[in-house]
Copies of this chain bind each other. A is one copy, B any other.
Amino acid sequence: MKKRTYIEDLGKHIGEEVVVKGWVSVRRDQGKMVFFDFRDMTGTVQGVVLPQSAAIETAKETRLEYVVSITGKVNERPEKNKNSKIQNGDIELEVLEMTVLAKAEPLPFDMSIEGFNLDLTTELDHRALTLRHPRLQAIFKVQAVIIDEFREYMKSQKFFEFQAPAIAPATAEGGAEVFEIKYFDKKAFLTQSPQLYKQIVMTAFERVFSVNKVFRAEPSATTRHLTEIVSLDAEMAFIDSWHDVRDMSEATVRYILLQLEKTCAKELEFLQATLPVMIEKTPTLSLTEAQDKIFEKTGRDVRGEKDLNPEDERSLCEIIKDETGSDFVYVYGYPTRQKPFYVYPNPDAPEFNEGMDLLCRGVEWLSGGRRINNYEQLLEHVATWGMDPHKIEMFLEAFRYGVPPEGGFAFGAERMTMQILGLKNIREATMFPRDMHRIDGLLTHGEDGTPSA
């Protein structure tokens, strides 16, 4: 049996006979001849079945999404038919033999590049099929690159990868937004963040990262909320100040953007997405400075507020873009008591902390900052925050035995995908989105109270 040639490699085989396997993406029956677009995981090529071809009868019976194995000859197209804008635009596959490996039912909607136009609910109801569309393939290719290049950069900086758990005991930070699991005859919970675990592992491995699921039982069905997301987390010891964390997070995002530019140019163009601009040194403002700037430029007085609201975030990003050309801006120095107990207070002004957010194009992309590494200070915060130290005993043990100054950051893979690609809804950036109404299908109650999907 002749070895399969991937469609992306056909251009190297002009004049040769090859075996191609793939799906029928497009089919135009012109009576005597049949034209196809064939698709495999490496791309698309136009095929033609001539009237005298042994494949002509099979070609007549073939339908969209049929899986076929083809023996064909790679022909250069006449100059006038060449199209440099598409993959394999200079060649055509002349089909000599064609075998149907699997049939498909008629498609429930138009899956062509031009005709694909579903509302999101329908798209999600048919996720198994719509995943075959080039638009969705491009989105999830970009997401896979974001996740993979995060790991690559972390490894290049000596970060150690660990697996953060999904099942947690009673969490100290918990609240209404945590999912409860029936755990044998007891209760357990799904982790909302690997924060405390990554800090524990950092105390042993210095620099650590993880790619893990986190879960939020937010009873909101907005375009930005899911119950299950992929969190990209990093934590590093032996920092001199929170600036080291800022710099590492900036370098990480810069590296991911660079890799996307290199490896996803085709996908970005297809999705009409423009990568955000990261200048050499991303502007970095304290919350107070940011609020002053918003007041100065817009007249809206948000000075003294405890955080930036969504309108502030949009204003600030616009101002910074105007002033510097940067799509990114760091904001640091939030009110200490507004943030979790482990965030490091500024020693010179302890009412503000050394936490930070990275904003881009009007929304937060990444959060992080310096954490408290001193055991006594941590215990004080635990008491002030009214937490039960027994519920974070493992975390506290880690800090009882000598922990260097440290910090870290985290961002969500889906939100970053959504923002980079300019998608309107985070469900578009999630292969199998889960929200309060949907797990695969829409949730309804069956007769036995069991949800069916």
Q: A interface vs B, CB < 8 Å?
A: 1, 4, 6, 21, 23-24, 40-42, 65-67, 101-105, 107, 126-129, 131-132, 136-137, 140-141, 144, 147-148, 151, 155, 158, 160-170, 179-184, 186-188, 190, 197, 200-201, 203-207, 211-213, 215, 217, 219, 227-228, 230, 238, 240, 373-375, 390-391, 393-395, 397-398, 400-405, 413, 431-432, 434, 436, 439-441, 443, 445-446, 449-453
Whether the pair A23, B187 counts as a contact (CB closer than 8 A) is no
Whether the pair B402, A65 counts as a contact (CB closer than 8 A) is yes
Q: Knowing A203-B128, A450-B187, say if A102 contacts B445 (CB, 8 Å).
A: no
9 A-B pairs with the lowest CB-CB distances in the bound complex, closest first:
A169-B453, A104-B402, A131-B204, A128-B398, A41-B206, A104-B401, A65-B402, A128-B397, A169-B439
Q: Knowing A404-B101, A450-B170, A451-B183, say if A394 contacts B440 (CB, 8 Å).
A: yes
Q: Knowing A41-B158, A67-B403, say if A452 contacts B169 (CB, 8 Å).
A: yes
Contacts of A170 in B (CB 8 A): 446, 450-453
Whether the pair B179, A397 counts as a contact (CB closer than 8 A) is no
Nearest to A435 among chain B residues (CB) is B184
Contacts of A204 in B (CB 8 A): 128, 131-132, 136-137
Nearest to A140 among chain B residues (CB) is B162
Q: How far is the CB of A374 from chain B (nearest CB, A)?
A: 7
Whether the pair B431, A132 counts as a contact (CB closer than 8 A) is no
Contacts of A436 in B (CB 8 A): 183-184
Instruction: Tell me the interface secondary structure of chain A in the complex.
Output: mixed
Q: Jot down 28 A-B pairs with beta carbons below 8 A, ordered by A.
A: A1-B240, A4-B238, A21-B404, A41-B158, A42-B158, A65-B402, A67-B403, A102-B403, A102-B404, A127-B200, A128-B394, A128-B397, A129-B398, A137-B204, A148-B151, A164-B432, A166-B166, A168-B439, A169-B451, A170-B451, A170-B453, A181-B182, A183-B451, A186-B451, A187-B450, A188-B439, A201-B431, A393-B441
Contacts of A405 in B (CB 8 A): 101-102
Q: How far is the CB of A217 from chain B (nearest CB, A)?
A: 7
Which one of B66, B203, B228 contacts A402 once the chains associate, using CB atoms below 8 Å? B66
Q: How far is the CB of A207 from chain B (nearest CB, A)?
A: 6
Contacts of A65 in B (CB 8 A): 401-402
Contacts of A212 in B (CB 8 A): 213
Query: Which of A170, A179, A204, A394 lies at the interface centre, i.e. has the most chain B CB atoms within 10 A of its CB?
Result: A204
Cα A21 to Cα B238 with chains together (Å)? 8
Whether the pair B169, A440 counts as a contact (CB closer than 8 A) is yes
Contacts of A126 in B (CB 8 A): 397
Cα A240 to Cα B2 with chains together (Å)? 12
Contacts of A206 in B (CB 8 A): 40-41
Nearest to A228 among chain B residues (CB) is B167
Q: How far is the CB of A274 from chain B (nearest CB, A)?
A: 24
Cα A131 to Cα B23 with chains together (Å)? 50
Contacts of A160 in B (CB 8 A): 41, 140-141, 144
Which one of B103, B128, B432 contacts A165 once the chains associate, using CB atoms below 8 Å? B432
Cα A166 to Cα B227 with chains together (Å)? 11
Whether the pair A228, B373 counts as a contact (CB closer than 8 A) is no
Q: How far is the CB of A422 from chain B (nearest CB, A)?
A: 21
Q: How far is the CB of A8 from chain B (nearest CB, A)?
A: 10
Nearest to A205 among chain B residues (CB) is B41
Query: Which of A227, A391, A440 lies at the interface centre, i.e. has the most chain B CB atoms within 10 A of its CB?
Result: A440
Q: How far is the CB of A98 from chain B (nearest CB, A)?
A: 14
Contacts of A161 in B (CB 8 A): 144, 147-148
Whether the pair B129, A374 counts as a contact (CB closer than 8 A) is no
Whether the pair B169, A402 counts as a contact (CB closer than 8 A) is no
Q: How far is the CB of A372 from chain B (nearest CB, A)?
A: 11
Whether the pair A197, B162 counts as a contact (CB closer than 8 A) is no
Q: Knowing A105-B400, A128-B200, A451-B187, say if A443 contacts B181 (CB, 8 Å).
A: no
